[in-house]
Amino acid sequence: MSADTAPRVLMCPPTHFAVDYEINPWMAGQLGSADVSRAARQWQDLHALVSDVATVELIDHVAGLPDMVFTANAGLIYRGRAVPSHFRHAERAGEEPHFTRWFAERDFDVTPLDIEFEGAGDALFDRAASRLWFGHGHRSDARAATALQAWLGDEVDVVPLRLVDPRFYHLDTCLCPLAGGHLMYFPAAFDAQANAAIEARVPAERRIAVGETDAMAFACNAVNLGETVIVNRASDALEEQLARHGYRLRATPLDEFLKAGGSAKCLTLRLDEPGLRAA
Please spell the DSSP secondary structure of the chain, one letter per residue.
--TTTS-EEEE---TT----S-SSGGGTT-TT---HHHHHHHHHHHHHHHHHHSEEEE-PPPTT-GGGG-GGGGEEEETTEEEE-B-SSHHHHTTHHHHHHHHHHTT-EE---SS-B-GGGTEEE-SSSSEEEEEESSSS-TTHHHHHHHHHGGGSEEEEEEB--TTS-SGGGTEEE-TTS-EEE-GGGB-HHHHHHHHHHS-GGGEEE--HHHHHTTTTS-EEETTEEEES---HHHHHHHHHTT-EEEE---HHHHTTT--TGGG-EESS--TTS--
Report how far residue 113's alpha carbon sits from residue 27's, in angstroms, rounded to the nearest whole number. Answer: 27
In angstroms, the CA 6 to CA 225 distance is 10
| Catalytic annotation, residues | 170, 266
Number of residues written out for the chain: 279
